[in-house]
Chains A and B, each alone.
Chain A
């Protein structure tokens, strides 16, 4: 699959406090906890549900849907 067709999960490492909420609640296990902050370990598994973004208390995760999906959601 072309990476452009899947949602992009970005971590703001300056704001992440490594609470682990995204890692625990992502239904597709996209994220893993690194030494100091969460890391996007399996980007290809992301469904774009934004569970991690909505539950991140630190404004540290942004999920951008690919253009095609974003249009469908609209």
Chain B
């Protein structure tokens, strides 16, 4: 496939650091859109603020680069106004579940037909490595120099509990799996979430002595277990392992369906 067809080439090369996984996620998204054969004018990519949220700047679709944490609020308005658009939100762990946490759980509860791709690098990359709600306990960030005392959110389980129709997690290293999950999410009616673990060698990697981008991908390669396999392992065996797989895939009426009924009823009074 020709990635260049989907890129705003005047904005390239992108700003992501060498070894950052965010570019690998973007490529997967473009491969899937190309495979689905969607017209560029029928796709809208919406983001908040962060390294991950820079994505819309590079892609030649309808794009919205909004305010920190609020991508889903903008995307919701867009989807309701133009339901024919394929609305895709690209966001970071900070953008999605710190400042944007409330938007995230309520969009899932509402089950609006939007796909969210969360580039989870366990840290605020763009602003220099502050702790995020997904930073694992006792791992370092610039704001937790002696280790993070908090427990992290499990984004996929959070989305599942909040009511999303589709939830999956993968790493960037397992790009074939990433393509599959993103395709399933994009074609799902209702709220779909793909949590992609994306290395940030510059902040998270450096602060936690995890090496460069290559080392961090190698870690993903060697420490990933599927949900099925994880079910047979003890908590000790699962320590430091990355669990990937499809957490939720269900059919349920989406927001648009309920909303149309409300509109109909209001016409009858």
Contact = CB atoms under 8 A, between A and B. Distances in A.
The number of chain A residues touching the other chain, given as a range, is: 10 to 19
Interface residues of B, number: 25
A58 B13 CA distance: 7
Contacts of A19: 18-19, 212-214
Contacts of B3: 59
B20 A59 contact: no
Contacts of B212: 19-20
Interface stretch (B21-29, B73-81, B123-131, B135-143): B21-29
A14 interface: yes
Contacts of A58: 13-14, 16, 18, 23
Contacts of A18: 18
Given A15-B12, A59-B27, A25 B217 contact: yes
A23 to B, nearest CB: 8
A40 B214 CA distance: 18
Which of the listed residues B175, B212, B214 has the most CB atoms from chain A within 10 Å of its own CB? Answer: B214
Looking at chain A's contact residues, the main secondary structure is: loop
A18 B17 CA distance: 10
Contact of A54 (B7, B19, B27, B213): B27
A54 B175 contact: yes
Interface in A20-74: 20-21, 24-25, 54-60
A20 B19 CA distance: 8
B231 interface: no
A60 B13 CA distance: 9
Which of the listed residues B22, B23, B172 has the most CB atoms from chain A within 10 Å of its own CB? Answer: B23
A20 B24 CA distance: 14
Which of the listed residues A14, A15, A17 has the most CB atoms from chain B within 10 Å of its own CB? Answer: A17
Nearest to A51: B175
A19 B14 CA distance: 14
A73 B212 CA distance: 34
Interface of B: 3-4, 7, 12-14, 16-24, 27-28, 172-173, 175, 212-214, 217-218
The 4 closest A-B pairs by CB, nearest first: A57-B23, A17-B18, A19-B18, A19-B19
10 contacts: A20-B212, A21-B19, A21-B214, A25-B214, A54-B24, A55-B173, A57-B19, A58-B13, A59-B7, A59-B23
Given A24-B218, A55-B24, A57-B23, 16 more contacts: A17-B19, A18-B18, A19-B18, A20-B214, A21-B19, A24-B214, A54-B24, A54-B27, A54-B28, A56-B23, A57-B16, A57-B20, A57-B22, A58-B18, A59-B12, A59-B27
